[in-house]
Amino acid sequence: MKIVVINPNTSRSMTAAIAETARRAASPGTEVVAVQPAYGPEAIDCAMESHLSAVAVMDLVLTFDEPYDAVVLAGFGEHGREGVQEIVDVPVLDIAESSAHVAQMIGRSYSVVTTLRRSVAAIEDRLRLAGLADRCASVRACGLSTLDVDRDPAAATEAVVAEAERAVRDDHAEVICLGCGGMAGLDAAITARLGVPVVDGVAAGVRLAEAVVGLGLRTSKVCTYAPPEPKEIRAWPLSRYLTTAAR
């Protein structure tokens, strides 16, 4: 089985951390290919950056020329998942929904600890859209940007632990979800500190992708995720256009 894990930003260090977590979670015999778009923001902390990364991710997916069995999008609720589902027929999972599904299997309520306060609304909206909000006790922000988390994992661990403690104590969360792909790999340290289950979305996405592929299931093309109707799209793919324009 081959799973493509996409970091939606252009940070190579974050892609490496995501790849390490994904490969550690994967079953023996599963090949993990971790990639990132050629252009776009180096970190995603707002709607503009999220929409820009969505275009870059779809552009990247259209360049894949080798077979693969599933795609895991390692942005926590970023835009673009539905677009990718339209252009490929393999299962496409995002780590926000994956972590929430897993959290609800092991506890009655869960909380998400993410980066900046401005990211909370987007995550709440994604969980509500996916029908996963009812058992979400809270979405809390640790106050660090995505780049902060990438550059200083030790500080990120402390900041996430502090908010996770409040979520368990004040919001009665029974499970904590790491609300940023850049937090990949912090789950063990936080679990040890808090004594509650901590779900790493990248690991959850990989394992759920293995399960869906193992069941022989693919993305439904009956209606919602049917391929786009053929029409002219100027300067697409963007990667080719930007490369040509830069010459």
Mean local confidence (pLDDT), 18-27:
96
Residues 101 and 192 in one domain: yes
Whole-number pLDDT of residue 246: 39
Tokens of 246: 């830069």
The DSSP secondary structure of 216-239, one letter per residue, reads T-----SSTTPPPPP---TT-SHH
Residues 53 and 141 in one domain: no
Residues 90 and 149 in one domain: no
Residue 244 has pLDDT above 60, yes or no: no
CATH assignment of the domain containing 210? 3.40.50.12500
Owning domain of residue 186: 96-201
Distances (CA, A) of 141 to 82, 167, 176, 195, 204: 26, 11, 13, 20, 21
Whole-number pLDDT of residue 245: 45
pLDDT tens per residue, range 38-76: 999 999 999 999 999 999 999 999 999 899 999 999 999
Residues 6+ positions from 103 with CB-CB distance below 8 Å: 110, 175, 176, 177, 197, 199
